[in-house]
Amino acid sequence: MPDAQSLPSLDAAYDLTSEDIQAFQTNGFALLRSLASNDEVAAYRALITEATTEFAKSYKPFEERDTYGKAFIQFMNLWTGDERIRRYTLAKRFGQVAARLMGVRGVRLYHDQALYKEAGGGHTPWHQDQQYWPLDGVKCVTMWMPLVDVTVDMGTLNFATGSQALGYLGPLNISDDSDDRLEALIAERGFTVVNSGDMKAGDATFHDGWTIHGAPGNLSKTTTREVMTVIYIDADAVITHPDSPQRANDLATWFPGLHPGSPAASPLNPIVYREGQA
């Protein structure tokens, strides 16, 4: 296996356009082509897939899982276990894009997670990411990058366009209930649902923490939808009161030892990018 320094650096800037930023701010998501090159993705895919495949052994057999468990293998915080994957998760190129889309001067890491939707894997129920996070009023964004070419039939993301404007809809974990309730809300408010469409390895979508999103199941009989995600938060964020068990859990997990009112800056939340800093 290569050492960290021999892996691609992923620091060179991406040519983000003002149209990309406008699309993100209006729609609550943006699709960026070739954020990472084929060679860059291939180098990191090998490491991320090896780690996630090992982690997947801890999962119950597919038929015994609930809807959430059938949606994907979810392996969090890979960067702390492997300094080579750290190079991917803390890549300046991705962090700069996240900052510019959100219109902030810098971003910290919230956490990374691999989301591998197995062949035959179930749909991802509609949900809002930020309802899990003790970060009300904070700008947050998730980068979702396939590590292999994926088609819509393998479970690329659906977004309820413009739904980020609703903000916090209350505690509602990913489940059959979130799917039913948010499906009804999308119809009631008339949000247009847009799928990213087929994506090449290294393309990425970025979605706002409040954008209602989900994904169809993976209809492939053979191919896993291998995806790596990184969640970024405004570098100057302050932790807010955890008003639900899920937010209390995230406070303890991702901001260990910190309290509401403190800067959201534990050792698990390094600066990934700050304007003007090398």
**Residues contributing to the site for ligand AKG (CB under 6 A):** 71-72, 115, 117, 124, 129, 142, 144, 155, 213, 215, 227, 229
Closest residue by Cα to residue 49 from 236, 259, 227, 250: 227
Pick the closer one to ligand AKG by CB: 138 or 227.
227
Pick the closer one to ligand AKG by CB: 115 or 272.
115
* CA separation for the pair 116, 223 (Å, rounded): 10
**Contact by Cβ (8 Å): 115, 61:** no
Angle (nearest 5°) at CA 210 between 205 and 212: 70
**Least distance between ligand AKG and beta carbon 52 (Å):** 13
**Least distance between ligand AKG and beta carbon 272 (Å):** 17
**Least distance between ligand AKG and beta carbon 207 (Å):** 7
Q: Which residue is nearest to ligand AKG (CB)?
A: 124
Pick the closer one to ligand AKG by CB: 144 or 273.
144
State whether residue 176 is helix, strand or coil: helix
**Least distance between ligand AKG and beta carbon 133 (Å):** 11
Pick the closer one to ligand AKG by CB: 43 or 140.
140
- Contacts (Cβ under 8 Å, ≥6 apart) of 127: 172, 173, 174, 178, 182, 212, 213, 214
**Least distance between ligand AKG and beta carbon 275 (Å):** 25
Say how far residue 76 (Cα) sits from the centre of its chain.
11
Pick the closer one to ligand AKG by CB: 65 or 105.
65
- Contacts (Cβ under 8 Å, ≥6 apart) of 222: 119
